[in-house]
Amino acid sequence: MAFELKINGKQVSVDADPQTPLLWVLRDHLQMTGTKYGCGINQCGACTVTIDGQAARSCNIPAAQAVGRTIVTIEGLSPDRTHAVQKAWAELDVPQCGYCQAGQMMAAVGLLARNPNPTDADIDQAMNNLCRCGTYVRIRAAVKRAAELV
Contact residues: another protein, CB under 8 A: 16-17, 20-21, 24, 27-29, 31, 33-41, 43-44, 46, 73-75, 77-78, 81, 86, 89-90, 93, 95-102, 105, 120, 123-125, 127-140
Under 8 Å between Cβ of 32 and 75: yes
Interatomic CA distance for residues 41 and 90, integer angstroms: 29
CB of 129 to another protein, least distance (A): 7
How far is the C-alpha of 86 from the C-alpha of 102, rounded, in Å?
Answer: 10
Q: What kind and span of H or E run contains 55?
A: strand 54-57
| Residue 16 interaction partner, one of another protein, ligand FES, none, beta carbon < 5-8 Å per kind | another protein
Q: What is the CA radius of gyration of the chain?
A: 15
36 neighbors 53 (Cβ within 8 angstroms)? no
Shortest separation between residue 126's beta carbon and another protein, angstroms: 9
Q: Considering the complex, state which of residue 69 and residue 81 has its C-beta at the smaller distance from another protein.
A: 81
Nearer CB in complex with another protein: 3/37: 37
Identify the sign of the CA torsion 127, 110, 5, 61. positive
Residue number, 62 or 150, with CB nearest to ligand FES:
62
Nearer to ligand FES, 81 or 116 (CB): 81
Where along the sequence are the contacts to ligand FES (CB under 6 A)? 37-40, 42-47, 57, 59, 95-101, 131-133, 135
Q: Amino acid identity of 138?
A: R
